[in-house]
Structures are given as structure tokens and as C-alpha cells.
Structure 1
Amino acid sequence: MAAPALAAATLIQAGLPARPAMAAPHGMNRLRENEAALPDLAFTDAEGRSKTMADFAGRGVVINLWATWCPPCVAEMPALDRLAAALARENIDILPLSSDRGGAPVVQAFYERTQVRNLGVWLDPRGAAARALGARGLPTTVIVDRGGRERARLEGDAAWDAPEFLALIRRLTARGPAEPLRGA
């Protein structure tokens, strides 16, 4: 009997589980995968310049709709910051679109206070992007592939930096602009 099998058999004989059940990371069970056209989205950067998803063509994107006054949004922001750091060199952008009415100064003060270092300041103060995406509340996160298609959506907060989420985001954002959808 091989050593790992022997160890597992010994644990089972002792009445102990061979391996503790691994729980899915927080939020994983609420993620809905899909393949949908992404609507036109308009938002601004920290300097007030208008941006659209065309500015991110050919890149994977994780859009997070949030606000500094939203407790679940605040709770997941450190994980999004770590996600941005982990994916920085992989052509996958994290776009936290803030709906705060105070604009960039409010978001920048929040980032400084909470030590967020890897996320840019992106603004959706009038909620245009949230409406275009059909978001039902905050936070809502949408994963977009390199071809500009929505691949998944999650309503509520999540442990975005968990290895399972990292692997899933890498997989979902991998398809490029020339690659067809399944069944297309």
C-alpha cells in the first residue's frame, strides 16, 4: 500500500476523517457563469476623463461596482486589492467603479485609510455603468474576457484573492477577441 493511502487508511481506522472537507471560498457558490454581450459602459478615471470598455480592449477585466458607504463592499476591498496585485502582470485589470457622490477624493481617502495600494480610482457616480449592467445592488462584480464578453457575475462580497477565484478569473478571462463562444 502506498504511503498516502496507508496514512488515509490509518486515519479512517482511527475514526478520523482522511481529509477535512474544503469549503468553497466566500462567495464562490453565488458566482453565475454566463456568456453575454457586454453593454456599452461609460465611467471616469480619477482625473475625470471619460473611459469605456474599449479602453481595455484585448484585456481581461474584473468590474466591481461598489461604494465606501457599503459594508459588504468595504469588507471585500482588501481581497480585491490583493487580486489586483496577483493579476497585475497578466493583462487582467481590476476596475472598482465607485458610486460615491464625492468622487475621487472620497475614494482616495478610503484607499489611504484602508491601505489599498493596487487598485486604481474609477468612478461611476451617476450609476450609469451599474444601470447598463443591470446591477441589482452593491457590490456586484462582473468578469469580462479579452474579447469583451461578460463571462460571470457575482452579487455580494467575495474572497476574491482565494486560489479558486484566481484560477477561475484566469480561465474566464482567457478567451481573446478572435475566439468564438461555445455553441456560436
Structure 2
Amino acid sequence: MADGNRFFPAPRLILAALVAGVLAGAVAVYVSESRSGNNAAPQVAADSSQDDVACVAKAGRAKAVAAKAVGQVAGLQPADPPQSLKNLAFNGPDGKPMTIADHAGKTILLNLWATWCAPCRAEMPALDALQKEKGSKDFEVIAVNVDTGDDTKPKKFLSEIGVQTLGFYRDPTIALFNEAKTRGLALGLPVTMLIDAEGCLVAHMNGPAGWSSADAKRLVDAALEP
């Protein structure tokens, strides 16, 4: 089991990341001491689509799965209410645009991260380890980098820390983060969303977690149960 302390960088690293984020004109890094990140309820528009209506009907399922989020993933909160995230867009490993809908039939752990975000950097090896062990035709960790500019910096970082299993997903426009923010899902980085095979949000959290831990693996198993 991974050491939980590795996912919460020293205050000086968080401060450095905050400064870097401001200089880059990026969103604020989530600070682990803040309690507000996991209390913001997702919003569903008044003119909800049929997909949203279908997702709302899964509220009981979302609560049941989120109840399994304990220990190192205890920050994960049930979607209230569940909503469709099929249209969330980003670039795939081949550089071409895609959406969550392109992963229909697969449960997704969607993580938004940036190289200037210290907590994001700290949890990336754990996300890679989770994908290596639990990734399958039924489950994938999709870690989307939101650095502005070209791919050079994020690719170099992932190479330096030995990430080998995660696909290289990107959104240099930060539109994905802004969409998550508009929906009440994101206050800073990292932000993580558990999405079911029909594209419905099951649970979400702001801040890092021990994604390579036994707690995380049990959570994935619960999300994959019929």
C-alpha cells in the first residue's frame, strides 16, 4: 500500500506551485487544509437533457459507490445529483479531439492535472499504478493535463517520473477545467471524477488522494459491480 503522506506535499512545495500557477495565469492549486473543495454540489441545468435525467435516476447507486470511498480516498463525495458528463471534451493520446462519450461502456476515473500543481505531480505515479493494475476494457484512468502551451513540458515530466501506463490526454485550452468549474465540480487542481459506463458522474473530489492504495482499488471494484 502506498504511503498516504506522499500525496500531501510540504507547505513550501504547495506555495511554490501556487506562485507558478499565478504566473502562468492558471487556476489555484487545491490546498489540502481547505474543506470547501468537496462540499460544492454539482449543478444540473433547468433544461436538463434526457441523459441528465437518466443519470439523476442513479442517485442511490452513486451514494452506494461513494460509501466505499474510505481511508486514502475518503475525500470522494457522491454526485448530488448525478449528471451526464458525456460531452466533456479533451484531446486523446493521438492528439485528436474526443469526449467522454467516446469511452462508452467503460468506467472512467477522470483526473485533471498540471505540471505547476505540486499535489498533482505527487499523485501522478499513483494514478499510473492504479491504471497498470486495474486498467481493462471496463475501466480506465484518464489523466488530462491542462498545461497551456505545447506538449513538451508535461511529456518531459511524465517521462522523468517514469509514468508508462497512463495515456497522454491533454486540454491546453483549459476549457475542460472551466466546464467542470461551471458544473460545480472543480475549485482547483487536482480534481477527480468517477464516471460510470453510461457517462454519468458517480462521485467527485477536489485535492489529491492515494490512488494506488488498497482503498482506491476497492473503490474501483465497487464502481464496476453490476
For normalisation by structure 2, the TM-score amounts to: 0.63
Q: Distance between the aligned counterparts of 1:121 and 1:162, measured in 2?
A: 22
CA 1:46–1:107: 2 relative to 1, 3 Å: farther
How far is 1:106 from its partner?
2.0
Q: Secondary structure of 1:37's partner?
A: coil
**Greater fraction of residues in strand:** 1
In angstroms, what is the RMSD of aligned CA positions?
1.6
Q: How does 1:70-81 map to 2 (within 5 A)?
A: 70-81=117-128
Q: Answer with 56-65 or 129-138: which moved more.
A: 129-138
Q: Distance between the aligned counterparts of 2:96 and 2:219, measured in 1?
A: 31
Q: How does 1:143-182 map to 2 (within 5 A)?
A: 143-175=194-226
Q: Distance between the aligned counterparts of 1:174 and 1:75, measured in 2?
A: 29
Letter in 2 for 1:123: R
**Greater fraction of residues in helix:** 2
Unaligned runs of 5+ in 2: 1-69
How far is 1:71 from its partner?
0.1
The residue number in structure 1 matching 2:89 is: 42
Q: How does 1:90-101 map to 2 (within 5 A)?
A: 91-101=138-148
The residue number in structure 2 matching 1:142 is: 193
1:43–1:129 CA contact under 8 A, matched in 2:
yes
Select the residue among 54, 74, 85 that pairs with 2:101.
54
Q: Secondary structure of 1:94's partner?
A: strand
The residue number in structure 1 matching 2:116 is: 69
The residue number in structure 1 matching 2:159 is: 112
Task: Work out the percentage of aligned pairs sharing the same amino acid.
Answer: 32
Alpha-carbon displacement from aligned partner over 1:160-182 (angstroms, at most 9, x marks no partner): 1111111112212445xxxxxxx
2:148–2:174 CA contact under 8 A, matched in 1:
no
CA 1:168–1:32: 2 relative to 1, 3 Å: same
Letter in 2 for 1:58: G
Alpha-carbon displacement from aligned partner over 1:58-106 (angstroms, at most 9, x marks no partner): 0010100000110000010011000000112352111111111133222
Select the residue among 78, 81, 86 that pairs with 1:33.
78
Q: Distance between the aligned counterparts of 2:137 and 2:212, measured in 1?
A: 15
Q: Which runs of 4+ in 1 moved over 4 A?
A: none
| Residue 127, structure 1, aligned to residue 174, structure 2 | yes
Q: How does 1:1-40 map to 2 (within 5 A)?
A: 25-26=71-72, 28-34=73-79, 35-39=81-85, 40=87
Q: Distance between the aligned counterparts of 1:38 and 1:173, measured in 2?
A: 18
